[in-house]
Structure 1
Amino acid sequence: MSIGHVVVAIPVRDEAALLPGCLRAVAEATSVLQQENPVIVDVVVTLDGCTDGSEAIARAFGVTVVERASVGVGAARDSAVRAGLARCPADLDSVWIANTDADTQVPPTWLTTQLRWADAGHDVVVGTVEPVGIIDPTQLDAWHERHELAEDHSYVHGANLGIRASTYVALGGFPASRLHEDVRLVTRARGAGVPVVATDTTRVQTSGRSVGRVRGGYAGYLRTLRADEHDHPVAGLL
């Protein structure tokens, strides 16, 4: 079934420095999509215990804002999704959920490409992530040695994940965990026999910082790629 409504869900925790770039990129991707198709797009930001200027930035962009009290990334993602779905039509087969992060910039064709995969019969689109801004050349080389940005890749990133709304609800949504909520959702989808595509056609760029907002998250993984660190135990998923 063709998609007529898109919810873009973004969890935010003290991201005043990077959130403007994220929202500008999402706005451009929305514009590109709507030039081809009169799809309704709702961008929803969950402020997860923010104490900086993230709220003012989000409201200045005119997106929907949900406020939570430091619930963690899994619950924050789910809150953004549920707030968006509350304004969607009852037929959730025609609704698409596009997930990204506040420290990430999506390409102009991000939504257009996800919906093409959806129209081709896929219920989950697992995209790739490329870190930018890594200063340490050893760290950057180590990342490229461990990652092949290609079709049928083995990585899962909440910063670049699309899912049909009916499938999301049937699977129970993102778990309220503070780590690997994205991996757990995709694992459930595959276990249920849901059509999943892992693709590099929707590649996004995310911050290559080594100090992030979630202990053990992507920034923590990047820290392990320094010359004096060992491999991350779930490197194949990051």
Structure 2
Amino acid sequence: MVIVVPVRNEEVLLPRCSSALSAAIDTLSVVPEPERPRVFVVLVLDQCTDLSARVAAHWRAFRRYEIAAGAVGVARRDGIRHALGRLGCLQTDGAASASQIWIATTDADSAVPPNWLVSQLALARNGAELVLGTVQPDDDLAAHELLRWEELHTIGERHPHVHGANLGVRADRYLAAGEFAPVDRDEDVLLVAALRNLGVVEARTALIPVLTSGRRIGRAPAGFAGYLRDHVHTDQKNGIMF
């Protein structure tokens, strides 16, 4: 199992992300041997100018991989390539082994739930090749903004949402779909579209919600912060969007 996390100047929120990932990995202990997967975590430090690298170093079990792309699609793609290369899945005879690897992605400003990996593993073993989870904004959203979010964002099983912060995919299907595109926005949507063109078996679930930042200014130009800014953040006094 491979987990890849793009990191761009996230010294404040990275500890929350890493602690949550550690808890989710620990929960895999309920899976009996030999079915319990080995977990390979890559924190992709992309053009960080803050103390993110120093913070990441506290999680010694996680591999740190530095790039200078300034694009979340590149960070996800390169992190996955790095992990799959280490696992021997990118060699000419690696197709069979890639079918045994599950890739999970989240973001450095997010915190996965303890059941995040166990649930994805169970769905994969029941035939899912793609898992799409949901997200929930954190306390950076004011109470009235959270109400607005809930009005616009109906959550349930078979939901329609795509979030790179809560996505899992079987490695061979991921490679067949052409990997994450090297773009600075919508890399998750583009990947899912390509996977659907391949006819993958997908599971859209609300059982593994990921807590993510409710801030207005994010690291990706049209990322989740941009969505919140355009659709959710309001001036409570005047009732207008800003």
TM-score (norm 2): 0.89
Compute the displacement of 1:60 (Å).
1.7
CA distance in 2, matches of 1:137, 1:106: 22
Compute the displacement of 1:77 (Å).
0.5
Deviations 1:125-150 (A, max 9, x none): 00000111134333211110011110
1:22 is aligned to 2:17: yes
Q: Secondary structure at the match of 2:165?
A: helix
Please tell me whether the aligned partners of residues 139 and 222 of structure 1 are also in contact (alpha carbons under 8 angstroms). no
Q: Structure 1 counterpart of 2:87, which letter?
A: C
Please tell me whether the aligned partners of residues 133 and 209 of structure 1 are also in contact (alpha carbons under 8 angstroms). no
Structure 1 residue aligned with 2:91: none
CA distance in 2, matches of 1:8, 1:59: 17
1:49 is aligned to 2:47: yes
CA RMSD, Structure 1 to Structure 2 (Å): 1.3
Q: Secondary structure at the match of 1:60?
A: coil
CA distance in 1, matches of 2:24, 2:138: 19
1:229 is aligned to 2:241: yes
* Within-5 A mapping of 1:71-82: 71-82=70-81
Please tell me whether the aligned partners of residues 127 and 201 of structure 2 are also in contact (alpha carbons under 8 angstroms). yes
What count of residue pairs does the alignment treat as equivalent? 225
Structure 2 residue aligned with 1:110: 116
Instruction: Name the CA shift for 1:135/1:157 in 2 (closer, same or farther; >3 Å).
Output: closer
Structure 1: 5+ residue stretches without partners: 1-5, 231-238
Please tell me whether the aligned partners of residues 186 and 222 of structure 2 are also in contact (alpha carbons under 8 angstroms). no
Compute the displacement of 1:35 (Å).
3.5
Which structure's CA Rg is the greater one?
2
Deviations 1:117-168 (A, max 9, x none): 1001010000000111134333211110011110010100000000000111
Compute the displacement of 1:223 (Å).
1.2
Q: Secondary structure at the match of 1:40?
A: coil
Please tell me whether the aligned partners of residues 126 and 199 of structure 1 are also in contact (alpha carbons under 8 angstroms). yes
Q: Secondary structure at the match of 2:86?
A: coil
Structure 2: 5+ residue stretches without partners: 89-93
- Aligned equivalent of 2:37, options 36, 39, 42: 39
1:13 is aligned to 2:4: no
Please tell me whether the aligned partners of residues 131 and 205 of structure 1 are also in contact (alpha carbons under 8 angstroms). yes
CA distance in 1, matches of 2:188, 2:46: 17
CA distance in 2, matches of 1:143, 1:123: 29
Please tell me whether the aligned partners of residues 124 and 196 of structure 1 are also in contact (alpha carbons under 8 angstroms). yes
Using the aligned pairs only, state the percent identity. Answer: 41
Q: Secondary structure at the match of 1:50?
A: coil
